[in-house]
């Protein structure tokens, strides 16, 4: 099998077997701790520009199927695994991981020590990396890698270019697309919502002109401070319509209300993150994928209150507005991949659009 190198910006490198596309690629190297759900992870638009390291040692064992895509065209830059299964076994399987990566033009590397790589990222933080042919000159690779600036227009790249509708007979929801996962749309469709998906730079005036019953802010990639267009829109919407934000939508909601965000050392990416609801003490296991978080101290003096915290590092995982019907979560209630503990949040959003106050919903 052809050999490939993964070079990191700190000079460390790994040599393994080439899988997927033959092209060279550069991205931010991150790790995901989920034991399953590699197809949903690879196709999640929130991974735009990143090279994903899977900590679970065997990836691809149930193949790739037609049902578990979170986007049609994956935005991930590369995939790193300990072992890529060559003979998947599942009744829904349609192709191997290697075949899928080749079809989508995504390079990967297998057969390296992913445990060592993960420990390195945990110690140093996320690093730029390049996947290239093993024969490439290492010094030249490192110089090139260090000179490259990673993109800051991730949301622009993954957001829908034009608005489109997903019809239903129930509540009318405007879903602002910062890199939305298909599972979020599916959850709204399950509840018979008439969903209009709009681009990330849609204005408050344009949204209000659609006369929706509620607005949802989707997940997405990158630094929330790179999406200033969203802040004025959120300020123009909240207080007029029920608002629910997920992941990047949660961070943008915080910024729009005067709070601040910061970059985590190595982020939260996996399907096993414990989150505590402060009002009840309930702990749920959640799916997460983000590299930024809301700064807890920055919430002092704002109109926001913390509703949930991450039990591993006590970062902010949920917010609610003190006056308006607006709340957000850092994790993924649609849970693909991951546990479905917090799927009920979509039902609470429905109840909020039906005119119930927060105190009634949680009664």
Q: What is the pLDDT of residues 152-197, one digit of tens each?
A: 999 999 999 999 999 999 999 999 999 999 999 999 999 999 999 9
Catalytic residue, chosen from 28, 156, 247, 348, is 247
pLDDT, one tens digit per residue, over 144-159 is 999 999 999 999 999 9
Q: According to the annotation, is 220 in a ligand binding site? A: yes
Q: Which residue has the higher pLDDT, 338 or 16?
A: 16
Provide CB contacts within 8 A for 351, sequence distance 6+.
Answer: 360, 361
Residue 113 is given by DSSP the state -
Looking at the structure, tell me whether residues 136 and 202 fall in a common domain: no
Q: According to the annotation, is 258 in a ligand binding site? A: no
Q: According to the annotation, is 50 in a ligand binding site? A: no
Looking at the structure, tell me whether residues 208 and 169 fall in a common domain: yes
Looking at the structure, tell me whether residues 55 and 131 fall in a common domain: yes
- Annotated catalytic residue 193: no
CA dist 80 and 111 (Å) reads 9
Looking at the structure, tell me whether residues 91 and 189 fall in a common domain: no
DSSP bridge partners of 295: none
pLDDT classification of 336: cutoffs 50, 70, 90: confident
Q: How many folded domains does the chain comprise?
A: 2
Residue 292 in contact with residue 305, Cβ under 8 Å? no
pLDDT classification of 363: cutoffs 50, 70, 90: very low
Looking at the structure, tell me whether residues 185 and 146 fall in a common domain: no
Looking at the structure, tell me whether residues 170 and 115 fall in a common domain: no
Domain end point (choices 150, 180, 195):
150
Q: According to the annotation, is 298 in a ligand binding site? A: no
**Helix (H) or strand (E) run with residue 149 in it:** none
pLDDT, one tens digit per residue, over 276-321 is 999 999 999 999 999 999 999 999 999 999 999 999 999 999 999 9
**Helix (H) or strand (E) run with residue 163 in it:** none
The DSSP-derived string for 45-91 is GGGTTEEEEE-SSEE-TT-B-SS--SSSS----EEEESEE-SS---T
Q: State which residues form the domain around 86.
A: 3-150
Q: Round the average pLDDT of the chain to a whole number and report it.
A: 96
pLDDT, one tens digit per residue, over 23-53 is 999 999 999 999 999 999 999 999 999 999 9
The predicted model gives 59-72 an average pLDDT of 96
Residue 169, burial from CB neighbour count under 10 angstroms (0-12, 13-18, 19+): exposed
Q: Is the pLDDT of residue 358 over 80?
A: no
CATH of the domain at 102: 3.50.30.20
Catalytic residue, chosen from 250, 310, 332, 348, is 332
- Annotated catalytic residue 334: yes
The DSSP-derived string for 193-233 is -EEEEE-TT--HHHHHTT--SEEEE---SS-GGG-THHHHH
Catalytic residue, chosen from 70, 187, 310, 334, is 334
pLDDT at 357: 63
Looking at the structure, tell me whether residues 163 and 146 fall in a common domain: no
Looking at the structure, tell me whether residues 173 and 268 fall in a common domain: yes
pLDDT at 207: 98
Q: Is the pLDDT of residue 235 over 90?
A: yes
Looking at the structure, tell me whether residues 146 and 159 fall in a common domain: no
Q: Which residue bears the tokens 């479905």?
A: 340
DSSP bridge partners of 165: 196
Cis peptide leading into residue 240 (ω within 30°): no
Looking at the structure, tell me whether residues 70 and 167 fall in a common domain: no
pTM: 0.96
Give percent above pLDDT 70 in the chain: 98
- Annotated catalytic residue 273: no
Q: Is the pLDDT of residue 326 over 50?
A: yes
Domain end point (choices 150, 175, 210):
150
Looking at the structure, tell me whether residues 117 and 179 fall in a common domain: no
CATH of the domain at 287: 3.40.50.880
Domain end point (choices 150, 182, 215):
150
pLDDT classification of 361: cutoffs 50, 70, 90: low
Q: Is the pLDDT of residue 210 over 80?
A: yes
pLDDT, one tens digit per residue, over 120-134 is 999 999 999 999 999
Residue 312 in contact with residue 67, Cβ under 8 Å? no
pLDDT, one tens digit per residue, over 245-279 is 999 999 999 999 999 999 999 999 999 899 999 99
Q: How many CB atoms lie within 10 A of CB 135?
A: 9
Q: According to the annotation, is 251 in a ligand binding site? A: yes
Looking at the structure, tell me whether residues 164 and 89 fall in a common domain: no
């Amino acid at each position: 099998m052809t050999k490939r190198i993964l070079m990191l910006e700190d000079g460390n490198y790994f040599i393994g077997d080439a899988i997927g596309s033959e092209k060279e690629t550069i991205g931010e190297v991150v790790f995901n701790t989920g034991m399953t759900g590699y197809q949903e992870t690879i196709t999640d638009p929130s991974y735009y520009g990143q090279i994903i390291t899977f900590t679970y040692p065997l990836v691809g064992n149930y193949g790739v199927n037609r049902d578990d895509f979170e986007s049609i065209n994956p935005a991930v830059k590369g995939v790193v695994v300990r072992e890529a299964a060559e003979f998947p076994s599942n009744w829904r399987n349609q192709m191997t991981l290697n075949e899928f990566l080749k079809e989508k033009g995504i390079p990967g590397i297998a057969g390296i020590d992913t445990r060592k790589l993960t420990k390195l990222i945990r110690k140093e933080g996320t690093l730029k990396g390049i996947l290239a042919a093993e024969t490439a000159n290492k010094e030249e690779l490192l110089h090139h890698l260090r000179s490259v600036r990673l993109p800051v227009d991730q949301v622009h790249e993954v957001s829908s270019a034009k608005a489109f509708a997903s019809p239903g007979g129930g509540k009318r929801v405007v879903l602002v697309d910062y890199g939305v996962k298909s599972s979020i749309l599916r959850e709204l469709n399950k509840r018979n919502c008439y969903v209009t998906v709009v681009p990330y730079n849609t204005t408050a005036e344009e949204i209000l002109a659609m006369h929706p019953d509620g607005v949802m802010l989707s997940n997405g990639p990158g630094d929330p401070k790179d999406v200033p267009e969203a802040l004025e829109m959120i300020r123009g919407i909240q207080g007029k319509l029920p608002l629910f934000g997920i992941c990047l939508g949660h961070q943008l909601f915080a910024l729009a209300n005067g709070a601040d965000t910061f970059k985590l050392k190595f982020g939260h990416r996996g399907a096993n993150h414990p989150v505590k609801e402060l009002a009840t003490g309930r702990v749920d296991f959640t799916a997460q994928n983000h590299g930024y978080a809301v700064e807890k101290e920055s919430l002092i003096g704002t109109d926001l209150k913390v509703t949930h915290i991450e039990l591993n590092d006590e970062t902010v995982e949920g917010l609610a507005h003190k006056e308006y019907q607006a709340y957000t979560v850092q994790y993924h209630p649609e849970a693909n991949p991951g546990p479905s503990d917090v799927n009920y949040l979509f039902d609470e959003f429905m109840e909020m659009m039906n005119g119930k106050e927060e105190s009634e919903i949680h009664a």
